[in-house]
Amino acid sequence: MIIADGLRPPTAFDPSAPAYKDWLHLVVLDHRSGVGGLVNASLHGAPSDPRSRAVGAALFHVPGEGWFGNVEVRGFDEASITPTSIGLEQVALAIDATRGTVHASVRQPGDGLGLDLVADAAVRPMPRERPHPLGEGWVAWYVVPRLAGRGRASIGGRSIDLARASAYYDHNWGRWHWGQDLGWEWGCFLAPAPGPSFFLSRLTDRAHRTGSRVLHVAYPDGRQRTFSGPAVERARHGLLETPPRRLPGVLAALHSDVAAPRLERAVLLRADDGHDRVEIRFTARAAAQIIAGDPVEPGYGFVHELVGAFEFDARIGGRDESGAGLAVVEHVD
Amino acid sequence: MSIERATAGERGLGEYVSALVAALGRADPAAFARMRRVVGGRRARIRLDDEEVEIRFVDGALAVEPGGGASPVDGAGSTDRATVLDLMDGRVEVGDAISAGRLDVVADVDAVAAMFAAIEILIDASSRSPELQALAREFRERPGPEPTGGRTAPPRPAEVAAREHALLARLDLLPDAEGPGHRGR
């Protein structure tokens, strides 16, 4: 299966280049151990601007133990950037388009995390390359809703075989400045293969007052289904009491006013178009807050990652199915 | 208490603080001016492990002197390298570090506010300054005690969070139902 994806840098005379963002995102969920986490590699700012930053983030949550991993921030000249990869000292992500694989590497021994993973695309990718308005700019994306992992992770001193792990990949790119009136909600919910993967997306403003939700369902056998607009409902229940892991620590110190964000403990998603329907019940067990500082315009975005478990009931194409899995839900403002 | 280089090729505390403020001035002159306004004529003592310096602005420039001098200071801050690294890595929050005695700040209310405001100006500017980020990396890479590698202060107890929530509710300061809970951004 081909992953026809790569970085989307601005052209040499693109006046919007200072707002350039390119973000590779891989979620890894190990159903056997319950470990869930993410590996991100992203670019912020015009490639020719020495202020522009390459950011690598690797965060994995172990049930009963907490978060492992960290965030690193480098200049573009300190990163290895190719059309299909971003490599920093501690975190690297690469796409092999023809083999249909995503490669992730993490070296954070001081933070208890190491990872070498190759994830094979297991369902048809979903490109959404038409720009969507976001803040004063726009965003587009490319999604592979399920990949099959192979490799190993070293987390908190334990070695985890990722042979049965599920993974989710997406790539967001566009033009925006952190701190603008923008936000989004997103979530990936993966049952163990050959079960379904669900992912939710919603672009919104900073207060999350606008924007409609889209819920996608994808099966390894090729079935895919999309619910959108009023067919998708979301309800939040309770507050997650555990304080989030906040990174980078320096920016966390600057933003003590958001040290205790009101993050949901449980989310109920319902999608029903009168023919097919899905219900997802997600319970968060921990959260991390990644603070993104814009390298050009004064401003910050707050990326909240909630890891947890979910149960689902679905009727797709006349077939009823129920199950459970692991999930990561993201709330950005 | 020396402001000279601890070892050959390595900045001492005084030189490091001078470098930070100078880099701020180059990266963001407006932020540097705000820092000078916020600090005013105050004199502060900074202690990191066994190094201590006293700093103040004189004629618009930062003056750094050895600690333990005869002049009174308006505020004093004290911590160690391991705590700074834990703060940089998000393993401990500022409030937790203070509660655990890993970060000491002694000053009247106005001086405390000025000290933290000056630090916040520096941190905010660092998001857009490769030079300030390089100085942060230099601090991390210098030899010395390593970070603790784990959370050293307990999270805020649930009953404290509940009391805070009740107070905010009485003052009608709670946000709307949707959203993570901060306002005005």
B130: nearest CA partner in chain A: A51
Reading chain B (185 residues) residue by residue, the pLDDT tens digits are 333 444 445 889 999 999 999 999 999 999 999 999 999 999 999 999 999 999 999 999 999 999 887 789 999 999 999 999 999 988 898 988 999 999 999 999 999 999 999 999 999 999 999 999 999 999 998 877 666 555 444 445 555 567 777 887 888 777 654 444 433 32
pLDDT tens track for A287-299: 999 999 999 999 9
Helices assigned H by DSSP within chain A:
249-254
Contact A59, A111 (CB under 8 A): no
Using CB atoms, pick whichever of B123, B128, B176 lies closest to residue A253: B123
User: Which residues of A, range 231-250, sit inside 8 Å of B by Cβ?
Assistant: 236, 241-243, 245-250
- Residues ≥6 apart with Cβ < 8 Å to A59: A37, A38, A67, A68, A69, A70, A71, A245, A247, A288, A290, A305
Q: Which of A33, A315, A322, A285 is nearest to A191 (CA)?
A: A322
A252 contacts B178? CB cut-off 8 A: no
B141 touches chain A (CB under 8 A): no
* CB atoms inside a 10 Å sphere around CB B17: 19
B175 contacts A262? CB cut-off 8 A: yes
Reading chain A (333 residues) residue by residue, the pLDDT tens digits are 888 999 999 998 999 999 999 999 999 999 999 999 999 999 999 999 999 999 999 999 999 999 999 999 999 999 999 999 999 999 999 999 999 999 999 999 999 999 999 999 999 998 888 899 999 999 999 999 999 999 999 999 999 999 989 999 999 999 999 999 999 999 999 999 999 999 999 999 999 999 999 999 999 888 899 999 999 999 999 999 999 999 999 999 999 899 999 999 999 999 999 999 999 999 999 999 999 999 999 999 999 999 999 999 999 989 999 999 999 999 999
Tokens representing residue A41 in the block: 């590699």
Distance between CA atoms of residues A286 and A67, nearest Å: 8
A252 touches chain B (CB under 8 A): yes
Tokens representing residue A154 in the block: 């070293």
The pTM of this model reads 0.89
CA distance A317 to chain B (A): 33
